Structure 1
């Protein structure tokens, strides 16, 4: 199941308000920000994981995906810009 990151009613970002330990049932309540990685779409998270597993090689990623290096580089640049915007708003 995918973690929801936006309110289904008003589409504003959601925050974590409770964490629970399955082993001892301890619960922690508060108002916590989601980590940046979890604020990204599933496709964007997968892209980052693929980049990591390709040892940071855009060339290897483009080869595995069967697309040209420039296309993969553009996807990477778009992701970098999105993350920069997200971190500048914090």
Structure 2
């Protein structure tokens, strides 16, 4: 299940306010920002995971994905720009 990051009513960013341990039922309450990685789409998260598992080799990723190197490079550049914008919003 994908963690929601936007309010279904007004589309504003959601914040984390409660964490819960399933084993001992301890609860941690507070107001926390959503980690940057969690603010990405599932597809974007998967791309980053593949990037890490490929040791940062865009050539290897392009081969695995069946895409051209420039296409994969552009996807990475788009993600870098998105991270910069998300950081600026903090």
Whether TM-score is above 0.5 comes out as yes
2:26 aligned partner: 26
Give the superposition deviation at 1:89.
2.1
- The alignment of Structure 1 onto Structure 2 pairs a total of residues equal to 90
After superposition, give the CA deviation of every residue in 1:49-82 in whole Å (9 maximum; x if it has no partner): 0100111101100011111101111111111111
1:47 aligned partner: 47
- In 1, Cα distance between equivalents of 2:29 and 2:71: 44
List alignment gaps of at least 5 residues for structure 2. Answer: none
Where relative contact order (Cα < 8 A, 6+ residues apart) is larger, the structure is: 2
After superposition, give the CA deviation of every residue in 1:14-68 in whole Å (9 maximum; x if it has no partner): 1111111111111111111111100111111011001001111011000111111
Q: Which runs of structure 1 show a deviation greater than 2 angstroms over 4 or more consecutive aligned residues?
A: none
RMSD, aligned α-carbons: 0.8
How does the TM-score come out when normalised to structure 1?
A: 0.95
1:63 aligned partner: 63
- In 2, Cα distance between equivalents of 1:63 and 1:22: 41
